[in-house]
Amino acid sequence: MATKKTVGTVAELFAGVGGFRIGLDKAGFETTFSSQWEPSTKTQHASSVYVANFGAIGHSNEDIQEVVDRVVTGKSNEIPKVDLVVGGFPCQDYSVAKSLNSSKGLEGKKGVLWWSIYKLVANRKPKFVFLENVDRLLKSPSTQRGRDFAIMLRTLGDLGYTIEWRLMNAAEEGFPQRRIRVFIVATRNDLATWNKKKPEDYIFKSGVLARAFSFSPLKEVSTFELDSDPEQITKKFNPQGKISPFLDSGVYRDGVVWTAKTKSNYAGKRATLKDVLVDSADVPKEYWIDKDRLAEWEYLKGSKSIERTHKASGTTYFYAEGKMAYPDSLDKPSRTILTGEGGNTPSRFKHIIKVGNRHRRLLPVELERLNGFPDNWTSTGAEGEKISDVRRAFFMGNALVIGLIERVGKVIAQELRKQI
């Protein structure tokens, strides 16, 4: 149950180091369940950092698929009923193995984490669902552009939700990083302000994302229907389509999609990379780049055409790379932080900045600031262990921009207060 000081309760899945929770805490929510489990590593660094900051109560460091299966089969109540389910889940293949008409009901591919979200929402019926993913979700897989997102919309919509999405570039909303992610908000139909005569109003006026971020259409809203059978979507949606029908904003309800290409109307203050930098006197020696290694960095950042041979066929081809900023501009938002940002090895994708006459990499605390985390949020684990700089950079490459989460959370909080 929410306390008197909170507006609602949250279950945070795929929690990482707690970006959703920080943003939603600021919006007035209480997280009563969290889950973070990394299958590819024995030491659970992210979970340890999460517990170090929030405590272990209500936190699970176990495969979420197993936890959800216990809950939906009635074997446990470890995920309580909540007002809001959130998560930055992996982008995978969401194809359907069995249709709604089968005796066992709807089932997705084994090991695909979307289906754990689906089963939990079906069982708990939260008032809202707030998800985040990479932008390619709207156009995957490459052989059926948009199919995976279509399956998500159809299956979640069939549970009784109105679903809106918006492709967000954090820099366009004033934040110091050009981080592009798709935000998805599902509102239970009994709570959604829906105008049957003007469904597009939900995209630009009445929807949660419409009120959290001001944006307007660049072209007319297009509409199309989704097959009632998710299995048929898997088989037949946009066969060999080169372009996804899902544009950067839209809404889905009762089998119908409305979608549009949009632009941000943000007119406030805009932060840049230099706004997050620490004083040069506080930069450890190992972060400054020796002059004799600058040529290697510059080469990796430059345009090039490299001859390669295909291992299977033996065919020769040229791999081309375009030019990247060198050094990264301090007067603009940073590029997207990637998981390989850490370490001193020269790289095409790591940030390199010039301060005075010297070049250096970004510190973990600066990467945290680019995502809006408190300073040194990821420095220490639950047992007091020091987290390596490489691992801290990895966390930030997987994280989200907290300020965006807070803005969405405040709108959802407004909706929940209407029910009090």
pLDDT digits (tens, 9 = 90+) for 204-240: 999 999 999 999 999 999 999 999 998 899 899 999 8
pLDDT digits (tens, 9 = 90+) for 308-329: 888 778 888 887 889 999 999 9
Q: For residue 4, is pLDDT > 70?
A: no
Name the pTM for this structure: 0.93
Rounded CA separation 121/117 (Å): 6
Q: What is the mean pLDDT of residues 73-77?
A: 95
Is the pLDDT higher at 241 or at 2?
241
Rounded CA separation 176/272 (Å): 5
Rounded CA separation 132/404 (Å): 11
Q: What is the 3-state secondary structure (H, E, C) of the chain?
A: CCCCCCCEEEEEECCCCCHHHHHHHHCCEEEEEEECCCCCCCCCHHHHHHHHHHCCCCEECCCHHHHHHHHHCCCCCCCCCCCEEEECCCCCCCCEEECCCCCCCCEECCCCCHHHHHHHHHHHCCCEEEEEEEHHHHHCCCCCCCHHHHHHHHHHHCCCEEEEEEEEEHHHHCCCECCEEEEEEEEECCCCCCCCCCCCHHHHHHCHHHHHCCEEECCCCEEEECCCCHHHHHHHCCCCCCCCCCCCEEEEECCEEEEECEEECCCCCCCCHHHHCCCHHHCCHHHECCHHHHHHHHHHHCCEEEEEECCCCCCEEEEEECCCCCCCCCCCCECCCCCCCCCCCCCCCCCCEEECCEEECCCHHHHHHHHCCCCCCCCECCCCCECCHHHHHHHHHHCCCHHHHHHHHHHHHHHHHCCC
Q: What is the mean pLDDT of residues 342-371?
A: 97
CA dihedral of 275, 409, 178, 18, whole degrees rounded to 10 = 80
Q: For residue 109, is pLDDT > 60?
A: no
The chain-wide mean pLDDT, for the chain, equals 92
- pLDDT number for residue 142: 86
Other Cβ atoms less than 10 A from the Cβ of 136: the count is 14
Q: What is the mean pLDDT of residues 242-268?
A: 97
Q: What is the mean pLDDT of residues 131-145?
A: 92
- Domain extent listing, the chain: 8-268+401-417, 278-329+338-373
- pLDDT number for residue 42: 86
- pLDDT number for residue 94: 57
Q: Yes or no: is domain 8-268+401-417 CATH 3.30.70.100?
A: no
Q: What whole-number percentage of the chain has pLDDT above 70?
A: 94
- pLDDT number for residue 96: 58
Q: What is the CA radius of gyration of the chain?
A: 22
Rounded CA separation 343/397 (Å): 13
Q: What is the mean pLDDT of residues 97-122?
A: 64
- pLDDT number for residue 99: 40
- pLDDT number for residue 254: 96
Rounded CA separation 226/120 (Å): 23
Q: For residue 107, is pLDDT > 80?
A: no
pLDDT digits (tens, 9 = 90+) for 10-19: 999 999 999 9
pLDDT class for 101, splitting at 50, 70, 90?
very low
Q: Are 213 and 407 in contact (CB under 8 A)?
A: yes
Q: For residue 295, is pLDDT > 90?
A: yes
- pLDDT number for residue 1: 47
| Residues annotated as part of the active site | 91
- pLDDT number for residue 98: 46
Q: For residue 173, is pLDDT > 80?
A: yes
